[in-house]
Amino acid sequence: MRKSFVLCMNEVKRMFMNKQVYIWMFAMPLLFTFMFGSLFNGDDGGGSEAITIGFVDQDDTMLSQALYDTLLSESIVVIEKLNYDEAIEQLESKQLSGAFFVEKGFEADVVNEIQPSVSFKHGPELLDTALYKQLIEQNILAISLQVKGAITWALYSEEPWSNMFQTIQQNQSTNAGSLEIIETTRVEEQTGMSNLSGRAAGFSIMFVMIMMMTSTGTILEARQQGVWQRLLTTPVSRAEILFGYLLSFFVIGWIQFGLLMVVTNLVFGVQWGNILSIAVLVSAILLSLIGLGLFLAGFVKTTDQQAAIGNIVVMSTCMIGGVFWPLEIVPAFMRTIAEFVPPTWAMKGFTEIVAHGGSILDIWQPVLVLLAFAAVFFTVGLFRVKYE
């Protein structure tokens, strides 16, 4: 085992002696994070500008009006009330980024404790669709709770529940100032995480993949230059040699990921969430990426082939997996294909931890899928490396 550790440290030192490595490991992912993060945020990171969202009230009842009034108090959106035809026309002409459509029967559904039908239509240019869907769901939930309380009160007072509901609404508007500050702060933090944090995680994954393709190519280089044959003449087994190389790849990947997380936190203010959950997820990601690199190394003959094919694999899987842009904006068939590439599950894990404050229990599925990728890649890759 000690021989494997010695080989691991030698490979790590050899990797970091190459000055160009620092550009690909650190400078490029930070540059891409800044460029794409600023692009998706719509500014230089100083906060998101409220966009205009249409509101189509096809129910025209007290509760649908209450929903409209509560949305007006949200500072992250500008709500504009329109009829159906106006909203559709402005969506098609891109005058509106999106619109909420309150279907007929909204009030009856809320009173009967049935999930009310409110749809959100938007153009492909709107990236943070999850944020606006969450916004409408939260406001509907708040109104539903108020209605439930008003109906309970009506059972004992023998007065219409609508009277108590209006009283609750009036009391809420009286305290809206202090409540709005808390809610706005929380939602704006979620916006930053879904944009800049998403690009930081995505490009960290992509450039770690590039480094893993480069690192695993050293196995080919070592075989071609006779390094393995010379090592095997010493008191060291093939398994110790292979373990030493694989351990060096894992250490290199963790150094890169760890430094990128620290720098993005200090420079861009990215909050990575629970440290233990991040450690488990990153370890699973690295195992799957090292396995992928070993898998490719088992089928190609030269380091040039490894680099060429590896770059194609990295770019294509990252584009499919939601690194460059959110998967919500791609067609359904592309989202289906994305389920079969490691970056997708890596991004799902980061989203759960960073955006939702998830723990280890919340990322069990992405971790298991990444480990399954690793098992398949390692099984085939080790077989090829051992017997070829």
Closest CA to 348 of 185, 130, 133, 141: 130
CATH code, domain with 166 = 3.40.1710
Q: Tally the domains of the chain.
A: 2
**Domain assignment of residue 182, yes or no:** no
Task: List pLDDT tens digits, range 37-87.
Answer: 655 554 444 444 568 899 999 999 999 999 999 888 877 788 999 999 999
Residue 250 pLDDT grade (very low, low, confident, very high; cuts 50, 70, 90): very high
Contact 206, 29 (CB under 8 A): yes
pLDDT at residue 211, rounded to an integer? 86
**Domain assignment of residue 178, yes or no:** no
**Domain assignment of residue 21, yes or no:** yes
**Domain assignment of residue 265, yes or no:** yes
pLDDT at residue 50, rounded to an integer? 63
pLDDT at residue 193, rounded to an integer? 43
Task: List pLDDT tens digits, range 189-237.
Answer: 443 344 577 778 888 889 888 888 887 777 777 777 777 677 767 777 7
Statement to judge: residues 71 and 196 lie in one domain: no
pTM (two decimals) = 0.62
**Domain assignment of residue 177, yes or no:** no
pLDDT at residue 283, rounded to an integer? 96
- What mean pLDDT is reported for the chain? 82
Statement to judge: residues 325 and 367 lie in one domain: yes
Pick 187 or 80 by higher pLDDT.
80
pLDDT at residue 181, rounded to an integer? 40
Using CB atoms within 10 Å of the CB of residue 234, give its burial: 0 to 12 exposed, 13 to 18 middle, 19+ buried. exposed
pLDDT at residue 62, rounded to an integer? 92
Residues in the chain: 388
Domain assignment of residue 249, given as a range = 1-41+192-384
pLDDT at residue 44, rounded to an integer? 40
Tell me what percent of the residues of the chain surpass a pLDDT of 90.
Answer: 30
**Domain assignment of residue 46, yes or no:** no
Please state, in angstroms and rounded to a whole number, the distance separating the CA atoms of residues 50 and 32.
25
Whether the pLDDT of residue 178 is over 70: the answer is no
pLDDT at residue 59, rounded to an integer? 93
pLDDT at residue 345, rounded to an integer? 94
